[in-house]
Amino acid sequence: MEAESLRRARVDQLLDLAATYKGLNRRQLADALGRDQTKLSPASGNPKLDYLVRLAEILDWPIGNVADAIWERAGLPATERGLGGSFDHWNDLARKSHREGDFRGMIDAARRMWSCAATPQQRALSMLRESGGWDGLGRYAQELDVLRRGLAESPIDRDTSTLLTANLANTYFTLGHLVEGRSIARDLAERLEAARPVERAPRAALAFSRYVMGNAGRSLAGHDSANAQFHASEAIRAYEASSWLYLTLADEFGNDAWRGIAGTCAGGILACEVDLGQRSPDSAVEELTDGLGAVIDASDGLVGDRLESYGWWCVFGCEVAIRHMHGRDLAKAVAIFTNKGYEIADRLDNWAMRERLFTLEYVQRHRAAEDGDPDSDWSIDQEEVKVIVGTMGRFPMFRSTGWRILQTATVVDER
């Protein structure tokens, strides 16, 4: 009942804001909401969709923001959110949740950190922790919002600012905002290089920023054909710099995860070399396919960044095939890479990888259908429908593609 009362109070607060914003009296507000003057807010504290839509229109807010204000705690006064415990206690719990893969627990602990925060630095750190939870759940739009709010705090220390900025660049890239992601990553890389870092954390951030630059440049080479040569060349330079930094750090600190990221860089370089005419598509596809031989099943011992590297090789292989191959060769290559890529994405529960693979397979099948290929038909099962729906929710730019897949594919009911 306490939660229900709190929601009703939040609805009433939004109604007051709406009336003030539009200069409405109670009768006018009731008319705008399609409600009786004596029952402006729902007794349950759970407004229906039509109510939310009308309230959002009065406030000129996105519907999601209205829903968040009613049901979520983020952004609400600390008096509504504080549940005891110190900032350090919740920080330790957030880090523990991250290690255990409990990302919802991490978000909850981070929000309680925020409620205890007394300084801009503490608020920024709580945002950094919360962003890690959203990243683990593949909820990148929420991660983006939290990272931007963290960077808006001032003053904050250099390490926290660096981590927030590096993650912001990668999140922009992941959501398909390639120019923004590369620009932020480049700015951070130049700033870090000018400082000549010797400590582990800023050196790792520099390696990561170059990695994001490489990924964004490689993707731009496929989107911006007029400038593909420039994008591919810049991507190779960024990948090479990132790989060298990660391998150096791996040798120095004994962290094999960094070797995995360096492996991803090597695959990205292969794809860009094809864009530059330095390597044939067939040889690149062959090398990428041979590299996947290490991935067998869950018993192969590959985990984390090492396994993820091979998943991105599958994405790179699809990109090479779609950009430079045709007909049966294209279909065969995409089939090989998507089959293995989906398997790896499922083992890692990696939504960003799923989005890329679904998009690339759709492009190949759509192209085949236009060419009259009878094998272009797409059959998906109920589990794949669930994953596509989840991907649509996480990637706004994928939604139209997701709808086209669901509307054109044959859904096989295996029950």
Q: Where are the domains of the chain?
A: 2-72, 83-156, 172-412
Whether residue 79 is predicted with pLDDT greater than 80 in this model: the reply is: no
Summarised one tens digit per residue, pLDDT across range 46-73 is 888 899 999 999 999 989 888 888 886 4
Are 344 and 308 in contact by the 8 Å Cβ rule? The answer is yes
Q: Provide mean pLDDT across the span 300-316.
A: 88
Work out the pLDDT band at 414, boundaries 50, 70, 90.
low
Are 44 and 70 in contact by the 8 Å Cβ rule? The answer is no
Q: Is 219 exposed, middle or buried (0-12, 13-18, 19+ CB in 10 A)?
A: buried
- Lowest mean pLDDT segment, chosen from 55-69, 131-145, 245-259: 55-69
Residue 132, CA distances (Å) to 148, 163, 393, 402 in order? 13, 11, 18, 26
Whether residue 376 is predicted with pLDDT greater than 60 in this model: the reply is: yes
Whether residue 301 is predicted with pLDDT greater than 80 in this model: the reply is: no
Summarised one tens digit per residue, pLDDT across range 344-363 is 999 999 999 999 999 999 99
Summarised one tens digit per residue, pLDDT across range 273-291 is 999 999 999 999 999 999 9
State the pLDDT at residue 77.
Answer: 40
SS3 helix, strand, coil % of the chain, rounded to 5? 80, 0, 20
Domain 172-412: give its CATH code.
Answer: 1.25.40
Compare 82 and 196 and report the one with higher pLDDT: 196
When the pLDDT of each residue in the chain is averaged and rounded to a whole number, the result is 92
Q: What does residue 330 show for φ and ψ, rounded to 5 degrees?
A: -65, -50
Summarised one tens digit per residue, pLDDT across range 169-211 is 999 999 999 999 999 999 999 999 999 999 999 999 999 999 9
Q: Which pTM value belongs to this model?
A: 0.88
Question: What separation, in Å, do the N-terminal and C-terminal C-alpha atoms of the chain show?
Answer: 39
Are 311 and 353 in contact by the 8 Å Cβ rule? The answer is yes
State the pLDDT at residue 370.
Answer: 87
Summarised one tens digit per residue, pLDDT across range 94-130 is 999 999 999 999 999 999 999 999 999 999 999 999 9
- % of the chain beyond a pLDDT of 70: 95
**Cross-strand pairs, 411:** 380
Whether residue 377 is predicted with pLDDT greater than 90 in this model: the reply is: no
8-state DSSP, 59: H
Q: Provide mean pLDDT across the span 122-142.
A: 96
Domain 2-72: give its CATH code.
Answer: 1.10.260.40
Q: What does residue 350 show for φ and ψ, rounded to 5 degrees?
A: -100, 105
Work out the pLDDT band at 43, boundaries 50, 70, 90.
confident
